[in-house]
Chain A
Amino acid sequence: SQQGEEDPQALSIQEGENATMNCSYKTSINNLQWYRQNSGRGLVHLILIRSNEREKHSGRLRVTLDTSKKSSSLLITASRAADTASYFCATPPSSGNTGKLIFGQGTTLQVKP
């Protein structure tokens, strides 16, 4: 079963706009990760945020984590056509687990030039 659920399922924006994707999860976690997948390729790790962190930045990416609401958001600022991809959040199934990651269904982002 999926731990995380991304929202929206699909997002289409113009180049230069910001894109926001949300992830909700069910159980307590010690960290949450975001991955990106270009069509037909493997996943690429973007950022990891720990449960004691509320916000983290990496270049044009901003990730927030609200453990009280069991949710996270990924913001891509000043989007580019090259940002077109699917984005997934991933969490351990519960805190103190064996180390596996459970992925959500993903948000498909299209950035139009």
Chain B
Amino acid sequence: NAGVTQTPKFRILKIGQSMTLQCAQDMNHNYMYWYRQDPGMGLKLIYYSVGAGITDKGEVPNGYNVSRSTTEDFPLRLELAAPSQTSVYFCASRTGVENIQYFGAGTRLSVL
């Protein structure tokens, strides 16, 4: 089983560039999440989705956008990259019944 797949694994962006972080899950989970992880800060929730077509803001949504057109995919968009968005980004998913979030391996992003 692939589980939660994130692409790319690494990316370097210049200030002002845009990019989309991809996240796909093959477990038919309704709930999906995007987190960012900064050293010594734990994980902060950016956006989440409870099903296709439904998204909501988390704790740190500024500078990001999401969409959820299918159950499987939950891309995260950075429109105008800033150095403050240098971080490791994790996508996660869970079912509506279980209480366990399954994480992808992460995308390490540097904005220079």
Are the chains A and B members of one assembly?
A: no
Residues of A within 8 A of B (CB): none
Residues of B within 8 A of A (CB): none
